[in-house]
Amino acid sequence: MENIYWGSYYTKPSSSQWMNKLELVVAHLESDTSYSGGLRQYNVGIGKIIGPVIVQQDPPSQISNDQIAKALTGWISAATVTDLRVKGAYNIFLPPGTTASLSSDQSCSTFCLPPDELLLGDNKPISEFATGDKVVGASGIQSVIRTMARPYEGELVEIKAGGMLPVRVTPEHPVLTVRGAGHSKTVYSSPAWRLAKELREKHPSLDGDYLVIPKLPGHYFDKMLDLHQFIYSSKAHPRNTRFPINERTAWLLGIYVAEGNSYHDGLNFSLHEDETAIRTRISDSFKELGYSSCVVQSPSVRCKRIMVTAVIIGRAFAEWCGKGAAKKKIPDFILYHKDENILRSFLDGYTAGDVCTVWNREYELLIVNTISRVLIQQLQLAYARLGLFMSIRKSRDAMRNTILGRNVNYHEQYEGRLYPKPVGRKMNTLHGEHFYIPIRKLSLTTFNGLVYNIETLDHTYLASNAIVHNCDYHDTANGPSGPFYTVEPYPCAQGCNQCTKDPFDTLTQGLSEEMVELKTDMDPGTGWVIGNEEVCDYCDANFVCNRIATGEYVNSWYDKSKNACWIGRK
């Protein structure tokens, strides 16, 4: 990180105290873990601070973001400032009297996806997302800050990586990738944003790019779920108004997703008549929860159905896990639960009812099939949380057929393949907290219509489970290629915000948030989420800024004991 003070104002002795204070602020934001209680995830932590540079030539009184970017690249070329490339960033401090006109982010008009791209979270096409909806990004479940749509006529880049569903984006959309080089042993680069149009296919013995799937952290701690929302009559007084979340009930939810359905009186599970052990486990588990069940033989087929009389539970399971095979899903409180054993039990229940096990030479291979695209993508993320890569693909297109004289509509069908005990090259996809998946095919398709984008707290979201950038690319002279920078105008004498009347605090509040956002652009996939709250004395008393939600990054502000803006917890 290098601080640039732009203008002759900063050559005056009277400004030295201001500059010294700013240098201290930046140093603390970069490296002092004590300001966040020693928690690494709450530090900007870009690293080394380079000595400041004063550019004596005064900027114009009104300057645009494009002019600032052009000036910065000029300073780099002339060696006026250090050439940090993509390894660092610059804080550019403007003098009093200069107004910066930061135009709207160019990315919002270039980074886009077609309307039918499915995003997990609220599990719907990107065209249906609204502000406040939930979406999955590199750090897990987060909120959508805003949505964008625009007309587009041109080419889309379709990216097909081995074992992933295709991703379609506009050519300028940044995608998180690693580059693999080498022949006998692949050497991987660090994760970096690359424009879709710049990606390269990866084939054996050739250099190329890999998409990145995150190994997501858990966010949920639930041990009990309230059932009152599923009680529709004020006259109803059910014995159970809460549903426990543990390994046993997680298994029940899993077998429901595989073989269950909801109906007006409760639940039913359709099993082959020989699956006695599974039927017994289902019946015993519901009996422990206080619900009765019975077994009904289906006529003309070797199938037995377990009927569970539990109206409220039937409604709850349908809401949590979907109703009908095409709408089945994994509840977020299971998929992102902190206790991985709960997720593992759910998957055990699902595979007990809906998996085919084959042996590929000496290796066990599990094969699942579903007509729910949401479910197949969730299964890939679920096994990724457990350190396993499930290869998924579309195995059948939607079609219309005739059976016994009747017209039948077939849904799209998806297949997942998993080696529960992977060996050799099948283990090499996991690197730390990310899976690297080689891009096997890049193609262009023509498109004419509306394309969409969203802005999120951590500036990422998952498209077909690959990490892509959202519309906010912050301040950068050349997109993901950098150089990266923040711009901080000199604050007005009144402080100009509701949190403080101190101009210096005003500047450091903005600077801290800008630096954190910049960090996520420069070092993607770190699992940080940015909350846009400022915790200063005013906000602490009047807002909820200091209530740290799970997975939320907190910008930390004014602490009187330190005379600066930090959390400063003891």
Q: How does DSSP assign 385-397, residue by residue?
A: HTT-PPEEEEEE-
Distance of CA 101 to the CA centre of its chain: 31
The bridge status of strand 292-297 relative to strand 266-272 is unpaired
* Angle of CA points 145, 147, 150, to nearest 5°: 155
Least trusted range by pLDDT, from 36-40, 326-330, 469-473: 36-40
Least trusted range by pLDDT, from 207-221, 392-406, 555-569: 555-569
pLDDT at residue number 356: 84
DSSP classification of residue 1: -
Q: Which residues contact 323 (CB under 8 A, 6 or more apart)?
A: 261, 262
Mean pLDDT, residues 535-542: 37
For residue 243, the cross-strand partners are: 225
- Mean residue pLDDT of the chain comes to 81
- 486 — pLDDT class (breaks 50, 70, 90): confident
The bridge status of strand 460-463 relative to strand 466-469 is antiparallel
Within 10 angstroms of residue 509's Cβ, the number of other Cβ atoms is 25
E strands present in 320-412:
356-360, 363-370, 391-396, 399-403, 406-410
Exposure string over 173-204, b if 16+ CB within 10 A, otherwise e: bbbbbbbbeeeeebeeeebbbbbbeebebbee
pLDDT at residue number 359: 79
Give the Cα separation of 555 and 545 in Å (integer).
Answer: 9
pLDDT at residue number 277: 93
- Torsion angle (degrees, nearest 10) of CA 99, 104, 105, 111: -170
pLDDT at residue number 357: 83
- 521 — pLDDT class (breaks 50, 70, 90): low
Within 10 angstroms of residue 568's Cβ, the number of other Cβ atoms is 18
Could you give phi then psi for residue 234, rounded to 5 degrees? -70, -15
| 279: pLDDT strictly greater than 90 | yes
| 381: pLDDT strictly greater than 70 | yes
Reading the block at residue 209, the tokens are 């790019």
Greater confidence (488 vs 55) lies with 55
Tell me the whole-structure pTM to 2 decimals.
0.71
pLDDT per residue as tens digits for the range 27-80: 776 665 544 444 344 344 446 788 899 999 999 888 877 788 889 999 999 999
Closest Cα partner for 325 from 393, 397, 257?
A: 257
Q: Which amino acid is at 211?
A: L
pLDDT per residue as tens digits for the range 111-158: 789 999 999 999 999 999 998 899 999 989 988 888 888 889 999 999
Q: Which residues contact 14 (CB under 8 A, 6 or more apart)?
A: none
User: Per this entry, what is the length of the chain?
Assistant: 570
- 523 — pLDDT class (breaks 50, 70, 90): low
pLDDT at residue number 457: 74
Reading the block at residue 356, the tokens are 């085919």
